[in-house]
Amino acid sequence: MELKELRAKANALPMRPGVYQMKDRDGVIIYVGKAKKLRNRVSSYFLNTGNHGIKTETMLSHVDNFEVIITTTEWEALVLENTLIKRHMPKYNILLKDDKGYPFIRVDTRLPYVSFSLVPAVGDDGARYFGPYRGRTVAHEVIDIVTSTFRLPTCKRSFPKDIGRDRPCLNYQLGKCVGVCTGIPYEEYRALVDQAVMLLEGSYEKLARELRQEMEDAAEALEFEKAARLRDRLRALEKVGDRQKVVAARAPDTDIIGFYAGSVKSCAVVLHYMGGTLYAKDVQMLDAADESEIPALMDDFIKRYYENAADIPREIVCSTVPEDQELTEQWLESIAGHKVSVMGPGRDRKRFTNMAYVNARDEAERATARKERQAKIGDLLQKMLSLSKKPNRIEAYDISNTAGEDTVGAMVVFENARPKRNSYRKFKIRDLEGQNDYAAMAQMLTRRFKHLLEGDEKFSVMPDLILIDGGVGHVHAALEAIRAMGVQCEVRGMVKDSRHRTRAIVDEFGQETGISTNPAVFSFIGTIQEEVHRFVISYHRNLRDSLHSMLDEIDGIGPKRRDALLAHYKSIDAIRTADLHELERFLPKSAAASVYRFFHNEDG
């Protein structure tokens, strides 16, 4: 639809409240807004074009049509606008998709051994979720309180496979962990988990009664060590309960919002104050905007930020007054259940809003500088490595194995100098005898480009540059495999120094290009090399752990026999295909029979 047609359509709208939906040529809703008077608001977009802010001008360049929904009141328009934004997630509305401000604590109590983790949203996976909490700082503090109160493990060990494997960690020595790794009774551990969950549920008084009764029972049974442990736990719980009562008695007092509009990145910073003390800071990076747009953007930001909030303070002070201040207050009060005041800085709050604004400006400027550095990296690499095109998409590959066995490979992807983790891929190397990194690399690249040629969507994007963790021999192996598939792609190797840092990039002719003299390139290539190494090592370790875990389930097979089996047979498949007589050659008959039955599902 031409501009004059859009203008005529807007001028024909009624002077009534409602919601408008801007659409692109494909009919996709790209922006949703509300209006007190639809004709005035919508027509303003198509008058004086070129005089709007950056964000609005960018949005208008994609508008091909619009639709409106007339409402009875402005309040109805606001509620409907909020509903439509959540439903359609329009590109040019402020969308806080990650909900960073309000995380949940996830505990899967169905697992024999649990962990307490932070997640951005509630999942439909059967686990227990607690929250949302006001910021990651607060949520981490809750986890620390729960784990320290019940002395639950916070280390990275995996149970039950790590029970008895190594010496207990320092937390156990300091009395901060009950020592699951030492093999305490499972019932004792589960009782602690159940009590920790009760604490998260807020059942302080019930939990305290149960602990007090257990302590008295232990004392009567002359189990004084147990009684002392329960006494210490009860004291810790009472401290938590007292603290919780204080916090509950004084709801969060004030949120200070600073908003900075930048030509590349904008930012909103929320400072959470309680009892006059700053206790948390939340940063939300946003798209480019113009200063003239800040009142409208502040209005949108407040609604997006607080719509799923665990609690809403009674006072919100903004560096710039929102466009629809009174209506925003009404909306906040409707979901908070109490009066909420939204105001500008004023004389007495000026230093607080200035601090929030300075924080927002600093975050936006650093993000802008980072984005500009990333934009230059591709040009620098193209020039330094004499590439035929700018490497917007870089794929890096690495191999990992244990003495030539259980060989795996991994691919990581960087697009526009940033990791694209949903494109990372893992490869389990097949039918390879002994340690042969060149053959493993060739197999991995062959499989990767076979997927591409067969139209596999997961491998559908062609890289501009392939980086191999290795020297010229690895580059030759990769190029030979790629060219055999009829594919042309630039390939280079990342040559490391004695400290395992990439010092140079090597091509197929053995020509090395040093990178240490260019800090930006040195840092970027180092990041890629570290990332692909981390990813492949993590995959290899998880694969080995899964093999260990499977063998640990077999009766009569302890750590020594498990390691002996893997050392002799090298893989689970080899153990599975071994006959009983072969297993009996180096295992006791009963253990050999257990292994054979496990893989062949035979009774008796």
Task: Give CA separation, 123 vs 45, 126, 127, 540, in Å.
Answer: 40, 8, 8, 28
139 domain-assigned: no
Contact present, 32 and 81 (Cβ < 8 Å): yes
Q: Is 173 exposed, middle or buried (0-12, 13-18, 19+ CB in 10 A)?
A: exposed
284-322: string of b/e by CB count within 10 Å (b at 16+)? Answer: bebbbbbeebbbbbbbbbbbbbbbebeebbbbbbbbbbb
576 domain-assigned: yes
CATH code (residue 16): 3.40.1440.10
Q: Which helix (H) or strand (E) holds 537?
A: helix 519-552
Final residue of a structural domain among 544, 567, 587: 544
451 domain-assigned: yes
Question: For residue 423, what is the DSSP state?
Answer: G
Q: Are residues 532 and 399 in the same domain?
A: yes
Q: Are residues 457 and 495 in the same domain?
A: yes
Q: Are residues 70 and 46 in the same domain?
A: yes
pLDDT per residue over 147-180, tens digit each? 888 888 888 888 887 788 778 888 888 878 888 8
Q: Are residues 398 and 533 in the same domain?
A: yes
Q: Are residues 445 and 535 in the same domain?
A: yes
- End-to-end CA, the chain: 78
CATH code (residue 572): 1.10.150.20
560: three-class secondary structure by DSSP: helix
Q: Are residues 450 and 339 in the same domain?
A: no
Q: Are residues 540 and 559 in the same domain?
A: no
365: three-class secondary structure by DSSP: helix
Q: How far apart are CA 514 and CA 512, in angstroms?
A: 6
160 domain-assigned: no
Q: Are residues 515 and 565 in the same domain?
A: no
Q: Helix, strand, coil % (nearest 5) of the chain? A: 50, 20, 35
Domain that holds residue 578: 553-600
CATH code (residue 432): 3.30.420.340
Question: For residue 458, what is the DSSP state?
Answer: G
Q: How far apart are CA 542 and CA 537, in angstroms?
A: 8
Final residue of a structural domain among 60, 88, 116: 88
133 domain-assigned: no
7 domain-assigned: yes
176 domain-assigned: no
Q: How far apart are CA 488 and CA 314, in angstroms?
A: 62
CATH code (residue 333): 3.30.420.10
Query: In this predicted structure, what is the pLDDT of residue 134?
Result: 62
Give ∠ CA 450-454-457 in degrees, rounded to 5.
100
Beta bridge partner(s), residue 602: none
Q: Are residues 565 and 530 in the same domain?
A: no
* Residue stretches of the chain with pLDDT short of 70: 49-50, 95-102, 134-135, 137-138, 202-204, 236-252, 275, 277-279, 402-405, 545-550, 570-571, 601-604
Q: Are residues 398 and 540 in the same domain?
A: yes
Question: Hey, what are 594's tokens?
Answer: 């257990």
**Closest listed residue to residue 520, CA positions, set 375, 371, 377:** 377
198 domain-assigned: no
Q: How far apart are CA 33 and CA 19, in angstroms?
A: 6
Q: Which helix (H) or strand (E) holds 143?
A: helix 136-149
Q: Are residues 539 and 595 in the same domain?
A: no
**Closest listed residue to residue 397, CA positions, set 533, 498, 544, 503:** 533
Beta bridge partner(s), residue 34: 19
Task: Give CA separation, 171 vs 141, 155, 167, 179, in Å.
Answer: 18, 9, 11, 8
Q: How far apart are CA 78 and CA 72, in angstroms?
A: 11
**Number of domains composing the chain:** 4
Final residue of a structural domain among 88, 113, 144: 88
Q: Are residues 535 and 399 in the same domain?
A: yes
